[in-house]
Amino acid sequence: MKELVFVTHNKGKIATAMKYLNDVNFEIFEYELDEPRSDDITYISKYKVMEAYKLVKKPCISLDAGFWIDALNGFPRAFVNFALDTIGIDGILKLMEGQKNRTCKFTECLSYYDGKELNQFMGYDVGTIATKKLGTDSNKKWSDLWYIYIPYNYDVTLAQMSEETRENRVRYKSVDAISEFAKWYKSGMNK
């Protein structure tokens, strides 16, 4: 298999990649890629993987995600980092006060670029928003949303789950982009 580089500074994304790509020859290049202003995570992921390739000159991947809240017309969408930096978890909970519909979802796009061809893999995870911040910190966390996100068919936030429960949870209404990429990559589709 070809050498693969994951360009990111997000420790949680690195932990997830290590889980699914543990038998793939890949390396981490810790770097914060520029992120274009867009509401389209496929465009953002494509832009970032192209930037990553210019840096490392090797086949690489980039992962970008968004968070959609039904009751808030999809807010914050692809602008989740901006929302967390400005209003934070407490602000999101304030916006959700009195809302009966607490359905939300993560969407993610993993882009792979080898210098010639771009392949993208989509993922999503449906759940609900807790009424308050719950749980403990973890080095596997890829977002503060873990404190308020309750996966479908569970009654606790990701931050409340033990590492074992989180890693082995039955994923209802979800697809993991890194897992989908790993299956494709390991099958030799990248040749």
φ, ψ (nearest 5 deg) of residue 123: -140, 160
Domain boundaries, the chain: 4-186
Does the pLDDT of residue 91 top 50, yes or no? yes
Please give the pLDDT value at position 6. Answer: 87
Question: Which pLDDT tens digit goes with each residue over 97-152?
Answer: 999 999 999 999 999 999 999 999 999 999 999 999 999 887 777 789 999 999 99
Greatest pairwise CA separation for the chain in angstroms: 52
- Domain at 4-186: CATH code: 3.90.950.10
3-state secondary structure 85-117: HHCHHHHHHHHCCCCCCCEEEEEEEEEEECCCC
Kindly indicate the confidence band of residue 1, based on its pLDDT and cuts at 50, 70 and 90.
very low
Task: Name the residues annotated as catalytic.
Answer: 64
Can you tell me the distance from the alpha carbon of 136 to that of 24, in angstroms, rounded to the nearest whole number? 31
When mean pLDDT is compared over 9-13, 123-127, 163-167, 179-183, the highest value belongs to 123-127
Kindly tell me the sign of the dihedral angle through the C-alpha atoms of 164, 166, 167, 171.
positive
Question: Which pLDDT tens digit goes with each residue over 30-75?
Answer: 777 778 888 899 999 999 999 999 999 999 999 899 999 999 999 9
